[in-house]
Amino acid sequence: MEQTSSMERSAAWAGCSHTRWFLAVFYAIAIAWGVRSIWRGMFSLVDSIVPFALAVGLGTWAIVDARHRGRPIPFLAQPWFILFGFAVPLYVVWSRRWRGLGWVILHGAGWCVVSMMSAMAFGSLIYGQQWFSALW
């Protein structure tokens, strides 16, 4: 009986490859943002690319996920998911209820932690101990 439930879970997880790819890209963008934040005073193209990449990635994931769940987002509403990233957490909470709220909180906090950790790691690699003394 336990084997059947694990087989069902693995089959369900295999159908979510779009989510695994999205999470890999999502956290890669967090690392890029963390590395970019080392140089605070300088303008960079990354300052514009990261929000755009997040909006497109979040919106595309929501559109694909809704299609996989059998409740596709109407064609005229799809650009709003890509243009405005705040629609995606609302979609996740709407489609998954309490589990979706936990998922949004977990990965939102995870994005912040990964970004900060990459900034700390790369800042200490580049600047050494002066990096930490400049922060405090």
Question: How large is the angle between the packed helices 87-96 and 46-68, nearest 10 degrees?
Answer: 30
In this prediction, residue 112 carries a pLDDT of: 95
- pLDDT, average across residues 23-46: 87
Q: How many residues does the chain have?
A: 136
Give me the chain's average pLDDT, please: 83
What is the distance between the alpha carbons of residues 54 and 115, in angstroms, rounded to a whole number? 14
pLDDT of residue 132 exceeding 80, the answer is no
Q: How many CB atoms lie within 10 A of CB 95?
A: 14
- pLDDT, average across residues 100-108: 93
Residue 135 confidence class, pLDDT cut points 50, 70, 90: low
Contact indicator for 118, 34 with CB cutoff of 8 Å? yes
In this prediction, residue 10 carries a pLDDT of: 46
Structural domain contains residue 126: yes
Structural domain contains residue 9: no
Q: How many CB atoms lie within 10 A of CB 18?
A: 15
pTM comes to: 0.78
- Cα angle value 93/103/24 (rounded, 5°): 120
Structural domain contains residue 27: yes
Residue 26 confidence class, pLDDT cut points 50, 70, 90: very high
Structural domain contains residue 55: yes
Domain enclosing residue 90, as ranges: 18-135
Structural domain contains residue 6: no
- pLDDT, average across residues 26-42: 88
**What pLDDT, in 10s, does the model give residues 81-91?**
888 877 889 99
Structural domain contains residue 25: yes
Structural domain contains residue 13: no
Q: Which residue type is seen at 71? A: R
Task: Return the biggest CA–CA distance within the chain.
Answer: 59
In this prediction, residue 130 carries a pLDDT of: 78
End-to-end CA gap in the chain:
56
Number of structural domains the chain divides into: 1
Query: Residue 33's closest CA among 48, 12, 55?
Result: 48
Structural domain contains residue 41: yes
In this prediction, residue 87 carries a pLDDT of: 86
What is the distance between the alpha carbons of residues 32 and 46, in angstroms, rounded to a whole number? 8
**What pLDDT, in 10s, does the model give residues 66-81?**
999 888 989 998 888 8
